[in-house]
Chains A and B, each alone.
Chain A
Amino acid sequence: MSRVNTVLGPIPTEELGLVAVHEHIGYGMPGSELDTKWWKTPEQRYEETVPKLRAFHEYGGGTFVDATGICNGRDVDYYKSLSAKTGVHIVACTGFVGGDTALWHFAKASVDYLTRQFVHEITVGIGDTGSLAGVIKVGVSRGGRMTDLDKRIYRAAARASLTTGVPILTHLAIDAENAIAIFNEEGLPLDRVLFGHVDDGVNADKTRDVWIAEQGGRIGFDTFGYETELPDPPFWARPRKERLDHFLRFIGEGRLKQALASADANCSPLGWPGVKGHTVNYIFEDLIPDLRAAGLDEAAIKTIFVDNPADFLTIQK
């Protein structure tokens, strides 16, 4: 039986449809909830979020993978209501965006404790929601090198992935030698890991995407739409053509089966202003048209957005 955990319960892989594999309903750094400058009413949050998800559904989107880690404003009850009312499958994650987003209780925890936290959220439930996590989030802290805590989280994620069959999705793919060493030590096949943000404007130059792919990892071009052409681009933005060319070059080297793409947009950001005009629907409104214009056929597009995410997300048990 093939299955994927969504916030409303497990679904058959066949039902995922087109997947936005690295997105956020709303992301905020831990502690941002104390600063009223970012607060929004529930009315406002639904108003900002529902039309984007509805449009995603109407464009033919099937599944939205939320990559918001444990202390970053992840709100599974809210996701359940959004999923039920819009018809979009939402996959929630366990894990942390990076060690620098893990609060003290987890920052001092052992690999064993972190493993048990992740396994619990995948097999028993996230808090009292009853929802099971469908993916494990890990990442590299600010600064460009994996910290000791980042490494503990990666190791725990590898063990939880082996125990549960749920895959791992990374924030940043820099310092990948350290990440891959940990996954190899734990015996985790690298096709269970999506190395994300290889296209990020700050880190693309120092991210060894081809090397990671050669080791067997899946590669996430998943910050599509954060463009320097935007009126107010974030610091991780990148010229649109440069990112697209990077992606086309990568898949042109026979690596289509290892490539995934997403927009990493916030429907309604929690602890930062967000980027005006950038939504998950960049995938339909800009990216897929750009890929067609570059000569990709429908089969290739289906591979990137349907088949590859389905292989990745399906619980390996």
Chain B
Amino acid sequence: MSGKSNTVNTVLGPVPAEELGVVSVHEALLSVAPGAEYAFDIRLDRAEIFETLAAKLKDFRAHGGGTIVDSTGMFHGRDVRLYETLSRTTGVHIVASTGQGPEEKLGGYFLTPQTNPPTPWPAEKFADLFTKEITEGMVVPRVERRGAAGLVATAATEEGMTATDESLFRGAARTALNTGVAVSIRYGNDAVHDLDVVLDEKLPADRVVVGGLDREDAVAAGAPLEVARRGAYVALDHVGVEDEAHITDAERVALVADLVRAGFGNRVLLSSNATGVAKGHPANDLPYSYVLTTFVPLLEAQGLKPEDTRRILVENPRDLLSAR
């Protein structure tokens, strides 16, 4: 249960925040595009999925990793029972998340309910759905509730936040206020605007992590610094990803240095958005250990002090994830 100070909800129960170690806050374990589980050309072999994920978690641990946060929410392949077994087998703490989004990833139950007219769900109903995943347990659909979510994660539509996305964001913020668990947001086309929606719910900024701040468009708009100024956590969460949408690792190193120099070393988070196993969408096959093995040496070569590294990898995520 949430509410106790200085513990974090993992799939195996609350864990003292000091025990998390190095945390990767934005990763995916089993990532299944909604609906892909029914596709004729997609197979979900649990034994094979387990073997792949276990190997990746063991590699993370072998390189000094302590905790993986599966930030894919409640409707993107989350498999609580599998994650419990993985955590027991590998010794890596696993934090699972509630939440869902953006709008296009929701089921029709939330968008065109069987009412006349079919009014999409408002924030309050999403808040109730997500809150119960923390206070009563995460749903294994139509079977049971298990464990407690340790984060509420949502996302906005790439072209810009829709009305239902806004309900999701406000619902996520209210969930955080209800339970003390932190919020993770992936913005649409305006990071600061989307952050302001959750802050408008009177959620303290230090309970929010904004993902995707290593996107080209966000960096060009100066969003990382602006998000940090508001007091929220800045996640450069595609470390190792080299594509048109994102800045390079060299640019990430410079951005981290800028943020630290500006006094926001206590607001930076690093992650790779790796997908352990992806079904129905392209995988990001980077190892969970990429930040530790490849990116940290780049940071330190550019002069980041070990205490700053530790702050970014251990203390910042610990403070974010500690239920208040």
Contact = CB atoms under 8 A, between A and B. Distances in A.
Contacts of A40: 142
A31 interface: yes
B39 A271 contact: no
Contacts of A106: 35, 38-39
Interface string A88-112: 0000000000001111111100000
Contact of B107 (A32, A117, A124): A32
Contacts of B280: 105
A60 to B, nearest CB: 32
Which of A29, A101, A102 is packed against the most chain B CB atoms within 10 Å? A29
A293 interface: no
A29 B112 CA distance: 9
Contact of B116 (A36, A116, A202): A202
A124 B40 contact: yes
B129 interface: yes
Contacts, number: 91
Contacts of A104: 33-35, 104-105
Interface residues of B, number: 32
B229 interface: no
Interface in A1-58: 28-36, 39-40
Given A105-B39, A117-B39, A33 B141 contact: yes
Contact of B112 (A35, A141, A271): A141
B39 A35 contact: no
B129 A29 contact: no
A222 interface: no
B114 A34 contact: no
Contacts of A105: 33-36, 38-39, 280
A113 B118 CA distance: 29
A71 interface: yes
Contact of A32 (B104, B109, B136): B109
Which of B115, B118, B129, B141 is packed against the most chain A CB atoms within 10 Å? B141
A235 interface: yes
Interface string B103-138: 011111111111110100000000001001000100
Given A105-B280, A107-B35, A127-B38, A35 B109 contact: yes
A247 B74 CA distance: 45
30 contacts: A29-B113, A30-B34, A30-B35, A30-B109, A31-B106, A31-B107, A31-B108, A31-B109, A34-B109, A34-B139, A35-B129, A36-B145, A39-B142, A40-B142, A71-B108, A101-B108, A105-B33, A105-B36, A106-B38, A107-B35, A107-B104, A116-B41, A120-B40, A120-B41, A141-B112, A142-B112, A234-B114, A235-B116, A270-B142, A271-B109
Interface of B: 33-36, 38-41, 74-75, 104-116, 118, 129, 132, 136, 139, 141-142, 145, 280
Given A30-B35, A36-B139, A102-B35, 16 more contacts: A29-B112, A34-B141, A36-B145, A39-B142, A70-B38, A103-B34, A104-B35, A106-B38, A116-B40, A117-B39, A120-B41, A142-B112, A202-B116, A235-B115, A236-B116, A270-B142
